[in-house]
Homo-oligomer: A and B are copies of this chain.
């Protein structure tokens, strides 16, 4: 007698190419309409509607209605985490949808993962913050330290506002291309927003690629030096 979670059900939801494309598009963290998602999936609107209904029933989506528009986003970071893990497995076993191309390298370098920075630069951010003692693991929780609070305030991120939300401040997210953690949670999102505000980085339209300007990369590397050790 088989008991326990029905992983086949959830996996089969992700296992359809149209639905997988929609979920991947939602990894940007943006909320998209049914029409936009049907375009992403390359199917008609009626087919997309049927797929979205299934994903919603599976608990993978968050749905918000605004007049005649219906906005879909991923339900939570756990969903994003599983999708990242599947990406890691697919990449690790060489199951890619196209030959390695320019965008693939860009995705590995820096990309948006549910609104926070992922890829090479994402893990560099995390490593640097850990190494500088700005983040620490207390029990099971990833926490911002006192020195981290000062650092973040200097960087003009408003912690009070972040703490008002329900999203955890700091959370680890396993990076599919680096196979190590990058920073998720509201602080992770705030960092990406700040990089955008400073014009260090921008999101490429229609993709999850994040491009850093030359100046932005220089500033980023200065502030979050790779391989910096704790004093």
Contacts and interface: CB of A to CB of B under 8 A. Distances in A.
A114 interface: no
Interface stretch (A76-84, A149-157, A186-194, A212-220): A76-84
Chain A interface size range: 35 or more
Interface stretch (A31-39, A62-70, A101-109): A101-109
Given A86-B11, A139-B131, A2 B97 contact: yes
A96 B3 contact: yes
B137 A6 contact: no
Contacts of A10: 86, 89-90, 93, 95
Of A9, A81, A107, A180, most buried by chain B (CB within 10 Å of CB) is A9
Interface string A147-167: 000000000000000000000
